[in-house]
Amino acid sequence: MKNDGFKPLNFVEKSEEEMIASSRKFYETVKKRRTVRDFSDRPIPDEVIKNAILAAGTAPNGANVQPWKFVVVRNQQVKSAIRKAAEAEEKKFYGERASQEWLDDLKSLGTNFSKPFLEKTPCLIVVFLESYKIDKNGEKHKTYYPSESVGLATGTLINALHSSGLGTLTYTPSPMGFLKKILKRPENERPYMVLVTGYPAENVTVPNIEKLPLEEIAVFVD
């Protein structure tokens, strides 16, 4: 992306009270986000998805190259093809590939090879990472820190969808090369994750897990 000079930041300063209140409110909002694994088939507003992707696109990223592509899948046949291919990989994962330690860690989540939400949920946002960019003339250009950049954009996307009132599942079939084939993506893109997006099913439950307290995740060097 070309840098066209510099412009004012337009920083809006808040009072300390406002800062504290905003930080609390943000924490209270994101604290309510939970990974959902059972969705309703209710349609969701188009604009919510578009705004959430725009929000994801604001993420900081290496040299502002923006090495991401968000593929929104709503077509029923394509969703079914993704489910079929994903379950074929999942059967191998749960039956052969996963270590016992990994399977033990997954137990509390209650997951298995079956992924009906891939067909039922109105929207799958498949996130692709661009290993390099291809310009209009077919020339290749480097991307910088693409994994970190796409991770930050995906985190923003998840919280944007959550704060809009939708549920998400961060889904990572392994391997996930089939997504590139089914969605006919170009050679410079690799699938990064699937964000299953929709209203949670009625009365859905989530694993009763806890987040670590501040003293276990932060170190203050004053």
Strand partners, 140: 134
Helix/strand/coil for 7: coil
Minimum separation from the CB atom of position 30 to ligand FMN (A): 10
In contact, 56 and 143? CB cutoff 8 Å: no
Which is closer to ligand FMN, CB of 70 or CB of 171?
Answer: 171
Cβ burial of 180 (10 Å; 0-12, 13-18, 19+) is middle
Minimum separation from the CB atom of position 190 to ligand FMN (A): 15
Which is closer to ligand FMN, CB of 113 or CB of 132?
Answer: 113
Residues whose CB falls within 8 Å of the CB of residue 142, separated by 6 or more in sequence, listed in order: 65, 132, 133
Q: Which residue has the CB atom at the shortest distance from ligand FMN?
A: 35
Write out the residues near ligand FMN by the rule CB under 6 A: 34-35, 37, 109, 111, 169-172, 206
Which is closer to ligand FMN, CB of 171 or CB of 199?
Answer: 171
Minimum separation from the CB atom of position 63 to ligand FMN (A): 24
Minimum separation from the CB atom of position 217 to ligand FMN (A): 14
Strand partners, 115: none
Which is closer to ligand FMN, CB of 19 or CB of 109?
Answer: 109
Helix/strand/coil for 140: strand
Minimum separation from the CB atom of position 113 to ligand FMN (A): 11
Backbone angles phi, psi at 208, to 5 degrees: -85, 80
Residues whose CB falls within 8 Å of the CB of residue 73, separated by 6 or more in sequence, listed in order: 79, 82, 123, 124, 125, 126, 183
Which is closer to ligand FMN, CB of 47 or CB of 96?
Answer: 96
